[in-house]
């Protein structure tokens, strides 16, 4: 779908590395260059026209991101990466924790939604408990999180979708049981955002982070949180910088050109036909899993009923890195290792074996991309 909107796809490679970062949308690339050329590029808060234009860009980007995520502009913070924003957010939460308080993380999550909470808990003398995905399918039902909840639970940190095996947990069910126990919910939607429409109101979460470079925009991070929460928690900040919400959460001068690109990518996502995206990706997921499992020696890890078109596999007798190198020789881009899904790789016993290969489809991929992956893997067994 829409392949011609992604100039980076024109070099002939099968780009199955979307979960590590997608190709940029033409409009996002143009918006960034146009912004830098426009003369409007300035710092925010000055008395002259270009500075006003920069302020308007910030406001407009927050507004569109609020719409995109189902929240409001005053809950939106933009920063260098999801990791940076989450470390900062978790550190602020950490200052509200008492010894003996509990946090819940999951073994499906990228370490950007685990380590920040481990650090915050350690500083506060709090305890981190882990929700385990189901063996085999690696699904994460609400009951897996409910099993770890107690009256001491303060926050649940859960992925919107696993960047390794694609599992989409029962987020609404998790938020409901967490709230019933008096806990709040932080969702890592970095992998989720390219595949599903996000609606923080429907999910019922308290905070959610994502990264525009995983949804066809530039490298940056976006955090939405309930505005009252952004007022309640106290992040570190410089004395002259604004203490208003959400500005107090942003440190230093942002990449305004990145904001121009984020805005264009958000406009694109807001106009996408998500039902068509889902149908297209599900068909490619089916083709990819059926094709891979038919190859002798291939193990596809996981298979949750609700998952994105992201497949993690190993090939008996072949190091995952060697598989990735062989595929790259055929101009097929995949990832190998643990892709920071450290807890999951430990759980599956893959961490000491070079991890696994990950091939991820987004809506711009097509059958030919998947078939080239399958041919490349099959060739290794001959």
Ligand X SMILES: Cc1ncc(COP(=O)(O)O)c(C=O)c1O
CB of 20 to ligand X, least distance (A): 6
Nearest to 72 by CA among 265, 224, 271, 268: 224
Q: Which residue lies nearer to ligand X by CB, 19 or 246?
A: 19
CB of 353 to ligand X, least distance (A): 21
CA distance 215 to 366: 17
Q: Which residue lies nearer to ligand X by CB, 112 or 309?
A: 112
- Round to the nearest angstrom and report the end-to-end CA distance of the chain: 33
Q: Which residue lies nearer to ligand X by CB, 108 or 298?
A: 108
The separation between CA 16 and the C-alpha centre of its own chain, rounded to angstroms, equals: 16
Q: List CB contacts of 86: < 8 A, sequence separation 6 or more.
A: 112, 113, 116, 186, 188, 209, 223
Q: Which residue lies nearer to ligand X by CB, 209 or 374?
A: 209
Residues at the interface with ligand X (CB under 6 A): 19, 81-83, 110, 112, 159, 163, 188, 190-191, 211, 221
Count CA atoms within 13 Å of residue 31 on its CB side. Answer: 23
Rg (alpha carbons) of the chain, rounded to whole number: 21
CB of 159 to ligand X, least distance (A): 6
CB of 381 to ligand X, least distance (A): 29
Cα 151 to Cα 103, 156, 177, 181, 182: the distances in Å are: 11, 13, 12, 6, 7
CB of 77 to ligand X, least distance (A): 13
CB of 223 to ligand X, least distance (A): 10
Count CA atoms within 13 Å of residue 46 on its CB side. Answer: 11
Q: Which residue lies nearer to ligand X by CB, 181 or 324?
A: 324
Q: What are phi and psi of 100, to 5 degrees?
A: 90, -15
Q: Which residue lies nearer to ligand X by CB, 133 or 376?
A: 133
CB of 224 to ligand X, least distance (A): 14
Q: Which residue lies nearer to ligand X by CB, 64 or 191?
A: 191
The SS3 of residue 310 is strand
Cα 139 to Cα 11, 14, 95, 132, 358: the distances in Å are: 36, 28, 32, 9, 17
The SS3 of residue 377 is helix
């Amino acid at each position: 779908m829409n392949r011609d909107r992604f100039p980076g796809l024109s070099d002939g490679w099968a780009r199955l590395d979307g979960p590590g970062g997608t190709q940029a949308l033409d409009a996002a690339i143009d918006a960034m260059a146009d912004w830098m050329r426009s003369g409007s590029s300035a710092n925010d808060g000055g008395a002259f026209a270009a500075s006003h234009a920069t302020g308007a860009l910030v406001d407009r980007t927050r507004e569109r991101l609020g719409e995109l995520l189902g929240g409001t502009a005053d809950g939106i913070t933009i920063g260098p990466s999801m990791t940076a924003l989450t470390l900062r957010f978790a550190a602020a939460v950490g200052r509200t924790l008492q010894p003996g308080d509990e946090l819940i993380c999951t073994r499906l999550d990228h370490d950007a939604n685990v380590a920040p909470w481990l650090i915050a808990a350690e500083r506060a003398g709090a305890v981190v408990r882990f929700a385990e995905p189901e063996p085999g399918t690696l699904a994460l039902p609400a009951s897996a999180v409910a099993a770890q909840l107690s009256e001491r639970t303060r926050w649940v940190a859960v992925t919107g979708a696993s960047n390794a095996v694609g599992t989409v947990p029962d987020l609404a069910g998790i938020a409901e049981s967490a709230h019933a126990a008096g806990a709040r919910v932080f969702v890592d939607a970095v992998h989720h955002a390219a595949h599903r429409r996000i609606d923080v109101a429907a999910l019922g979460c308290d905070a959610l982070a994502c990264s525009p470079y995983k949804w066809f925009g530039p490298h940056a991070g976006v955090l939405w949180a309930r505005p009252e929460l952004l007022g309640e928690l106290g992040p570190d900040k410089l004395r002259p910088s604004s203490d208003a919400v959400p500005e107090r959460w942003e440190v230093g001068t942002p990449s305004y050109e990145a904001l121009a690109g984020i805005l264009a990518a958000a406009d694109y996502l807001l106009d996408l036909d998500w039902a068509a995206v889902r149908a297209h990706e599900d068909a490619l997921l089916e083709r990819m899993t059926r094709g891979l499992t038919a190859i002798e020696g291939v193990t596809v890890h996981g298979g949750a009923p609700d998952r994105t078109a992201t497949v993690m596999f190993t090939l008996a007798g072949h190091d995952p890195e060697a598989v990735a190198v062989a595929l790259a020789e055929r101009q097929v881009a995949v990832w190998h290792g643990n892709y920071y899904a450290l807890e999951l790789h430990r759980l599956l016993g893959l961490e000491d074996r070079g991890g696994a290969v990950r091939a991820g489809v987004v809506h711009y991929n097509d059958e030919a991309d998947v078939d080239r992956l399958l041919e490349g893997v099959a060739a290794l067994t001959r």
